[in-house]
Structure formats: structure tokens, C-alpha cells
Chains A and B, each alone.
Chain A
Amino acid sequence: MTSEARSATPPLVRSAVAFRAILGKDLRAELRTLQSLPAMALFAVTTFVIFRFGLDRTQLSGSLAAGVLWATLLFAAILGINRLFVAEREEGGFDAIRLAPIDRSALFAAKAAALVVYLAAVELVVVPAFAIFFLDSAAALPPLALVLLLADLGLAATGTLISSMAVNSRARDLLTPLVLLPLAVPLSIAATGALEPLLAVGGPGYHRFGTWLAVLGLYDLIFLLVGYAVFDFLLED
């Protein structure tokens, strides 16, 4: 294919190809090196152990269960978010992508998608572990997956944005949580609000469940749009 033919390819198609290339590259590298996923999962399970003995409780329900689950997942996510752009920074990925004739928001979308995959993979291990540690039934798990998927999307959008800014700082490990956690407050309120009735004593309930899902969806939409709008500027020198 000549350069003329390549440049004639519609921009949306080029962006889609770049999105798949970047996402595939990230997932392949993570599967090969396991730099983020095991650390995130181990951190979360260890935190459950600490909560179990710290609270001296074998069962949790309602807002306390929701808080323990969400806070643990949020802090585990930070481990992955911190490393999200390290390869781009240290191995020239930023330059390679900036030299290519593609919309740079493809990088934002691919990184956010990679983060959603990481979070979902970690939750596949961590949520059953939470159920074993603290729940007496697994009935809440199917609707809980929907809440976590929406929360993951918002966390991925915000985390990708913050990570791309923090990666150029020597204080990256400090900067990410300091900036991310305040931005994640609305997400945390909505996620725990949706999780609370699901984890209620006596089985899952759905009081205001739809409202909290809508808030989660709105948060996702806002931060995905913000990421799309500003990411190009973040990559400038």
C-alpha cells in the first residue's frame, strides 16, 4: 500500500486500527511480564485479610461491605494506573505514536480499554475472594458485576488521564493518587451507593439502584469526553 493510499484511508478506520494495535500491544506485554495484574490482585486480597482481622468480623453487609469492597478495588487500581504509561515514557512509545498519522485519542481510548480489562481481570479473582471472606451468599454477585463494570469505565477514563500527566513526573507514584482520589470521590459515592443495597443483609435489594447506575453512567460519559477532548494537548511537549 502506497503512502497516498494509506493517507486516503478514512481517519476513523486509521484510529480504529491504531486503537487495536495499542490495546493488543499492552495486553500482550502484560500477559508476558505480569507487571501489574498479580500485584493488584495480591494487594486486594491482602487488604481483605487485614479488614477481616482489623474489624474482627466474618460477615459484612450494607454500606460497610460496599465501602470495604470499593476502597480495596480503588487502591488496587492505583497500582495499575501508575504503570499504565511507563512503557510509553521509557521505551519511546509516546514519540512513536506522535510520529504516526493517527488521532492521538486512539492512545487514550486504548489505554482506558486496557485498564478496564485489567480491572475486570482483577475483579474476577478479588470479588469471589471478597465473597468468601465476608458474604454468606453469592446472590449479589451478578448485579454487582454490572456496577463494577460501570465503575471500572469511569475509573479507567479518569485514571488514564491522570496517569498520562503523572508519568512525566519523578513523583509519579505520589502524584497519581493525590490527583486521582479527589476526582474519584463522585465515582466512589455512586459506586458504594449502588453496591450498598446489593450487599444488604438478607440478600440483594434494589433501592435507588437505577439512580446510582445512572450517576455512574454520567460520570463515565463526562470523563470519557474530557479525556477525548484534552488528551491531544497532554501529549504536546
Chain B
Amino acid sequence: MAIELRGLRRDYGERPALAGVDLSLAQGESMLVLGPNGSGKTTLLRILATLLRPSGGEVRVLGAKLPGEAWKVRGRIGLLGHDALLYRDLSARENLRFHARLHGLRGDAAEARIATLLSAVGMERRADDRVAELSAGMRQRVAAARCVLHEPELLLLDEPDSNLDAEGRELARELVGPAEGRTRVVVTHDPERLLSEADKVLRLATDGSAELSEAALR
């Protein structure tokens, strides 16, 4: 299993953001996470990304028990969230180079990978502009490239289409869309478009409850 959750809880003070989530997601499957604002979607993604500690329950990601074994899976996860994780004062290429080094990619192989990804998201002409000078949509394209730079096994995508135009959505989909062996968890407010590529759907509610179902339209 790529992801196994048993009774996952996360509280913010007295308020439960997640009040007992159970689910299993096999390697290569995609899951949509739906729910209104404040229902814990981003919290769930951050726990899976090892960035947030659960308050209770059991969490296994790529075989590692979190939070204790988080070090085993760092580097195997790609996160595309609300923050692009890009430094405004560096160019798109410099940002990708920085992330590549953090993930152990160096030299010509890293430069080639960066050039390929920048081209894949249609950013080769603006690659050397500072991120501060890019539009929100362009930043999201670079963030999509950053997310898959190290070829992660698990993609955690929090509204991956936000700020993207139609062309950007298509280019980003090429990078972060379904692929063989790649497990994906996708938070979205637009399930109609993404439902066709999902295996499971997790619906979260504002009281912290969760309901898992098979994706009927697959």
C-alpha cells in the first residue's frame, strides 16, 4: 500500500480538523479529496507530506510509519500546494537548481532535467526571470516542474490547477497527471474534470468526519 491511514486524527486546540480518517491507497492509484473550506483537506496533505504531526491514529506512507520514520520517505514525495515553494528573488531556473541540489541531483544531469521540465511547462523563455516578475499562473507552472523534479513516487497536489489557464492546465497535467506506478492524492474544488482519472474519492466534512468511496466514473 502507498498510503494507509487508521483512525487518523489532527486537532487544532479543541477543534478536530480530522476526526478519525481510515483509508488505503495502493501504489499507482489516484484519490480525489473533496470537501468544503475548513474540512481538513490541506491538513491531510501536510500530514502525508511529513510536514505536520498527526494528533492520533496510525499513518503509513510508502511503507514508512509517520511521524517516526518520516526520514525514510522524504525525497520520495512531491508536494504541489498553495505555496509554490519558490524564492521570489531567484529565477525559475535558479529555484529548480536549488531544489535539485536539495534532492541530490547535480551537474549535467540536473541541468538537463531542469531544461526539460521548463520546456514541458512552457517556461523556457522566462526561465531566467526572477519569480517575483512572473504571473501567478507562471509560478504555478514552475511549481509543477519543481514538484516532479526529483521523480517522486507519491504526488500530493492541493488544487494543482489554481491560477492556470487552459494551456497551463494541459501542460501541468502532463507532468503531474496519472502515470504508471505513480500514486496521487489530489485536493480539488472542481471534481467534475478530475473524477475521470481518480480511483477513489475521499469526502471530508467540517466536523472532521471522512467518507471514502470508489470513484464511480472511472
Contacts and interface: CB of A to CB of B under 8 A. Distances in A.
Contacts of B130: 32
A32 B90 CA distance: 9
B49 interface: yes
B53 A101 contact: no
A17 B104 CA distance: 8
Given A29-B89, A92-B85, A96-B85, A17 B101 contact: yes
B89 A14 contact: no
A195 B150 CA distance: 50
B151 A3 contact: yes
Interface string A8-40: 010000100110111001001100110000000
Given A98-B50, A101-B75, A237-B53, A1 B85 contact: no
B103 interface: yes
A1 B74 contact: no
B193 to A, nearest CB: 26
Nearest to A102: B102
Nearest to B106: A17
B86 interface: yes
Nearest to A94: B51
Nearest to B153: A3
Interface in A88-112: 91-93, 95-102
A: interface residue count bin: 20 to 34
A236 interface: yes
A59 interface: no
A57 interface: no
Contacts of A58: none
Contact of A33 (B50, B75, B84, B89): B89
A87 interface: yes
Contact of A99 (B49, B53, B101, B106): B49
A87 B49 CA distance: 21
Nearest to A25: B98
Nearest to B146: A96
Contacts of B104: 1, 6-7, 9, 14, 17, 101
B83 A99 contact: no
Classify the secondary structure of B's interface with A: loop
Contact of B105 (A6, A96, A99): A6
B86 A91 contact: yes
Interface residues of B, number: 34
Contacts of A91: 83, 85-88
Classify the secondary structure of A's interface with B: helix
- Point out which of A22, A97, A101, A102 has the most chain B C-beta atoms below 10 A from its C-beta: A101
B179 interface: no
Contacts of B50: 98-99
B118 interface: no
Contacts of A17: 101, 104, 106
A92 B86 contact: yes
Contact of B102 (A29, A32, A92, A97): A97
Interface in B68-105: 71, 74-77, 79, 81, 83-90, 94, 98-99, 101-105
Interface in A210-237: 236-237
A33 B88 CA distance: 11
A3 B75 contact: yes
Nearest to A18: B102
Contacts of A1: 104-106, 109
A16 to B, nearest CB: 10
B52 interface: yes
23 contacts: A1-B109, A3-B76, A6-B103, A17-B104, A20-B101, A21-B98, A21-B101, A21-B102, A29-B87, A29-B90, A87-B87, A91-B85, A91-B86, A92-B83, A92-B86, A95-B81, A96-B99, A98-B51, A99-B50, A99-B77, A101-B71, A101-B75, A236-B53
Given A3-B150, A6-B103, 14 more contacts: A1-B109, A6-B104, A7-B75, A17-B106, A21-B98, A28-B90, A28-B94, A32-B130, A92-B83, A95-B51, A96-B85, A98-B50, A99-B75, A100-B102
